[in-house]
Structure 1
């Protein structure tokens, strides 16, 4: 290997010194360039991390989280309720299963936000939720209060998995004022079992979902205290219609939940829907039984429409003890349904009842093979019938029993 030559003259040494300095400055420049690039990468990383964290925080505080979380569940304890029904107890071990069942069966309903292109303005916050819908089929039919239609012309549903879907109104039930909707392009809903009236028992615990606070969920609990019948002492409560819901489920005390929110058993079955308070001083809750919805499902799936049977009478249920104290003495009967006029005629004009020959003062004693001597009202007894069905009524008129046949018509859906 040939050794490098060593500069001897002054000019050669100066040239060598300048070359060394030049190489050193290049190294410094290269080091500065690398440091600058590294600093840019760090800045970009910090900015991206901050933006991601900010986005997560915004979504966490704004998007509706899944409707239930076992870790966050809150059930108020009411000592007076427990003393009233000592045999009724909530079994905590069943709550994980309960929450898993209902979580994918509930849909949060919102008014659709305008598309402004600004992400933050398109976020749906729990405080903006209009109501909660209940899944009826796995492919998107849901049930929600009809009052939603007056709150917004465009509704969207958000599932427990944060899927945002548009809602199409199908039909409204005139009896219950509940509306049927269909969710667009979604087929992963869980369908819960409905509880029939015959399967309900006094003292059983009932649960309703409370509005979210942040990302927590809560339920309130009360106990079933009465099935059907008259809860009010008001004279007006005695006068009934064959085309309105009369038989509600009542609880021992107020269930703190949104109106029309589904009410569940501890097994996650649907009992009904929480009704608005009639007066502020009301001390118990009314629940619209899910039993009133069940007969409509097959119609909805086959025809995308519903039809309630129409009879057309107004009456007083003589099986209610207080009814005997407010009626003018006519022919006496302690049981049955007395056709009675008040604001509306006892038999509505052109109704199936009028066409069959029923008139004011008749007492309905029996409907087909069912004696009309219980506290259950006509609207409850008619829900399993359809338009076009012929129903034979045994009536009492002028002291004599006779039978009249009525062909039921249809209450037009809304």
Structure 2
């Protein structure tokens, strides 16, 4: 027994010695100069918004509040409402000396007031109210602006494409309200799809990211922003996700110039190419995006693409799956011409597609009822393209929420873009007309509407009190 233990000890000692030898002579870099260089360009963001609770009491768990919300429209005045101030914390970073600040859209969404807390080299804090210049919910990005008297420190975007798995990164943020917290780690993976949106291509890192880090920078060792910290794995440790700077910088430039964020669109439904389909089509591998259907009179149809074609390249960019195709097409501006390489009948074919615009009024089913109701919603009847882009199961039918008006009734109730309305007043709805009929008739009489909402695999009830126009 002693001999066995001795052998185990010797083996462990050899392993430790081997690992130590592998790192011998390697000087791990100090990030202190980096933090001094860019730390004051990272800011704390706090938001406030007034919310109304129906038939509840302070501190009521959300599950119980939603239960009472189902019945409050039908209980009359005795249900009651109360107003309370809801606050939230996040992080941002300054990108120009005149006060432009980048953060996540979900940090500032639906906020009545947004405050930015600056810190100078002497750790003196200064608080300023910020205004929203623009947001993009599909990539979860927002651009803010504060008024300044003096030039502010700023950081620059780096090239996220140059980052490799194993490269060192630094995160600076406001986790749990602990301002200017610095954590380090490495890029642990690239191109992660966590089903947060149609353009998922996250950088994964083991640098500690926690609630409050959202919107903060992920930096390379040159102090350049190569990602915007956005999400964490709720059940894991050391797993955080950041929006790549290559995607973020182009969106921020559009917002800063006052433009609407516009994306290319070709008018097809697509899916990943599985092993069985690849074999049936006589293909060597599963790389590519399979076109399930082509919408009549849309860009792909006009260019000659057909259902069953397998897109393997856009320009010089390889397409490995459906997500690649969605993301690459969206990176182009509408009206741009792109060269598409597809496989048809086992042979490569070339097509030139002049792109349309994603989510424009020319797309089938895109109707806006915001003008005709007090909810503050832009809606579109659910299409096959939406199902593919948002990974919506076939058994889910309803109306897609394209946009939510800031400070509108729906926004205050917690409704978000990409939610799907399944039912109104417990009646299933598949068309905008069905929804407006319920809204204009029974809901106006009762003073409220009950919506069944589908969001990321979950279904729940939200009640919205209606305000009469004066």
Normalised by the size of structure 2, how large is the TM-score? 0.54
Instruction: Give the distance between the partners of 1:269 and 1:201, measured in 2 at CA.
Output: 15
For 1:305-344, what per-residue CA distance to the aligned partner results, in whole angstroms no more than 9, with x for missing partners?
A: 43233345454455xxxx4268783452525423255xxx
Higher mean alpha-carbon deviation, 387-396 vs 149-158, is at 149-158
Task: Quote the residue 1:152 is aligned against.
Answer: 111
Contact 1:315 1:337 in 2 (8 A): no
| TM-aligned CA deviation for residue 219 of structure 1 | 1.9
Instruction: Give the distance between the partners of 1:374 and 1:90, measured in 2 at CA.
Output: 38
Task: Quote the residue 1:98 is aligned against.
Answer: 34
Task: Quote the residue 1:337 is aligned against.
Answer: 288
Instruction: Give the distance between the partners of 1:282 and 1:272, measured in 2 at CA.
Output: 19
Instruction: Give the distance between the partners of 1:380 and 1:139, measured in 2 at CA.
Output: 32
Over the aligned positions, Cα root-mean-square deviation in angstroms equals 4.0
For 1:335-355, what per-residue CA distance to the aligned partner results, in whole angstroms no more than 9, with x for missing partners?
A: 5423255xxxx5567753344
SS at match of 1:395: strand
| TM-aligned CA deviation for residue 384 of structure 1 | 5.2
- Which structure has more strand as a fraction of its residues? 2
Task: Quote the residue 1:140 is aligned against.
Answer: 99
Instruction: Give the distance between the partners of 2:220 and 2:287, measured in 1 at CA.
Output: 33
| TM-aligned CA deviation for residue 183 of structure 1 | 1.5
Instruction: Give the distance between the partners of 2:34 and 2:137, measured in 1 at CA.
Output: 31
SS at match of 1:99: helix
| TM-aligned CA deviation for residue 209 of structure 1 | 2.5
Instruction: Give the distance between the partners of 1:253 and 1:155, measured in 2 at CA.
Output: 27
Aligned residues: 302
Matches within 5 A, 1:263-412: 263-281=218-236, 284-316=239-271, 323-324=274-275, 329-334=280-285, 336-341=287-292, 347=294, 352-372=299-319, 377-382=324-329, 385-411=332-358
Task: Quote the residue 2:129 is aligned against.
Answer: 166
Instruction: Give the distance between the partners of 2:327 and 2:289, measured in 1 at CA.
Output: 17
Task: Quote the residue 2:199 is aligned against.
Answer: 245
Change (3 A) 1:398 1:155: same
For 1:160-205, what per-residue CA distance to the aligned partner results, in whole angstroms no more than 9, with x for missing partners?
A: 2433322221222243121122223455233322221332122112
Task: Quote the residue 1:13 is aligned against.
Answer: none
Instruction: Give the distance between the partners of 1:155 and 1:397, measured in 2 at CA.
Output: 53
Change (3 A) 1:89 1:270: farther
Task: Quote the residue 1:49 is aligned against.
Answer: none
1:228 paired with 2:191, answer yes
| TM-aligned CA deviation for residue 150 of structure 1 | 3.6
Instruction: Give the distance between the partners of 2:307 and 2:149, measured in 1 at CA.
Output: 51
> Gaps spanning 5+ residues in structure 2: where?
1-15, 51-85, 361-402, 404-470
> Gaps spanning 5+ residues in structure 1: where?
1-78, 115-126
Task: Quote the residue 1:109 is aligned against.
Answer: 45
Instruction: Give the distance between the partners of 1:384 and 1:215, measured in 2 at CA.
Output: 36
Instruction: Give the distance between the partners of 2:327 and 2:27, measured in 1 at CA.
Output: 30
Task: Quote the residue 1:41 is aligned against.
Answer: none
Higher mean alpha-carbon deviation, 305-314 vs 129-138, is at 305-314
For 1:76-135, what per-residue CA distance to the aligned partner results, in whole angstroms no more than 9, with x for missing partners?
A: xxx9xx99x95986412x41x212232332222223599xxxxxxxxxxxx965211122
For 1:115-158, what per-residue CA distance to the aligned partner results, in whole angstroms no more than 9, with x for missing partners?
A: xxxxxxxxxxxx96521112222212221111234452121222
Contact 1:260 1:276 in 2 (8 A): no
Change (3 A) 1:168 1:210: closer
Normalised by the size of structure 1, how large is the TM-score? 0.60
Task: Quote the residue 2:389 is aligned against.
Answer: none
Task: Quote the residue 2:168 is aligned against.
Answer: 205
Task: Quote the residue 1:194 is aligned against.
Answer: 157
Contact 2:132 2:144 in 1 (8 A): yes
Contact 1:316 1:339 in 2 (8 A): yes
| TM-aligned CA deviation for residue 270 of structure 1 | 1.0
Instruction: Give the distance between the partners of 2:328 and 2:240, measured in 1 at CA.
Output: 23
Change (3 A) 1:140 1:86: same
Contact 1:367 1:393 in 2 (8 A): yes
| TM-aligned CA deviation for residue 214 of structure 1 | 8.8
